[in-house]
Amino acid sequence: MEWLPPNWCPRVVVIDIDGTITDGNKHISTDAVNAIRKLEDAGIPVVLATGNVRPITYGLWRFLGLSAPMCCENGGVLWHPSWKAPLLRGSADVAKEAAVWLASQVEGVDPKGIATNQWRESEWCLFPNDPLDEISDAIAGSKWSHLSVVRTGFAIHLMEPHLSKGEGLRVLFDSMGWSVDEALCVGDAPNDLPMFELLHWAVAVGGAFDVVSQAANVVSPHPHGATFPPLVDAILARVAEDKR
């Protein structure tokens, strides 16, 4: 199959984590790990773009042996360990204030929310089964009406409406002097759609949401992380052709 468009080779590869290099049980694909290392060895930086918080993303970044900055919390937090501080594009403190107020207004809201809130820096996440309609109505009539209320499979997010992987990556690419026309991305879920729109070439892994497969340039015939060995082979073959 043709993984890449003719006469084009990515200079940067951006990958989602959950459901893209992991399977439905959140187990990481060792095939994907080995393939991703080959990209970095060939001088193609790999960017992790994820809804995960920074400590989790950093651990994976370190163990994979990556070099590029990370895009965490769906674009809310950009960071490289060599930077003095993360670039925060929203405020977890503001969203948390809203959650504490919500708990006083809506029965069934636990303001502490999900476990990873203890590391969240740009947003706040309530439990996915908290009463969404009541929460949305209460926020809309409050002083936090600028916040979006978004339910995913894992949480109800209280977040700044501009935050997305696409907007975060735009800032990250600008800061690195990279062109979005030279980037390939790989993802599986609706939070990947803004990065599919921003970057030149988008690959949906096998097992992706239908809406994501429809938006991709290429749909992998292989599930999740098994996408990476043949995709990376195609990229490295293109790199070798370019050198000839």
Q: Which residues are annotated as catalytic?
A: 16
Comparing CB distances to Mg ion, the nearer of 31 and 188 is: 188
Contact between residue 117 and residue 55 where contact means Cβ atoms under 8 Å apart: no
Quote the tokens at residue 202. 């988008």
User: Which residues have C-beta within 8 Å of that of residue 41, sequence separation ≥ 6?
Assistant: none
Q: Which residue has the tokens 């052709």?
A: 241
Distance CA 6, CA 136 (A): 46
Least separation in angstroms between residue 93's CB and Mg ion is 27
Comparing CB distances to Mg ion, the nearer of 189 and 232 is: 189
Q: By the criterion CB under 5 A, which residues form the site for Mg ion?
A: 16, 18-19, 188-189
Cα distances from 27 to residues 51, 106, 241, in angstroms, run 17, 36, 34
Comparing CB distances to Mg ion, the nearer of 19 and 168 is: 19
Least separation in angstroms between residue 220's CB and Mg ion is 14
* Nearest residue to 171 (alpha-carbon basis) of 235, 96, 90, 117: 90
Comparing CB distances to Mg ion, the nearer of 98 and 203 is: 203
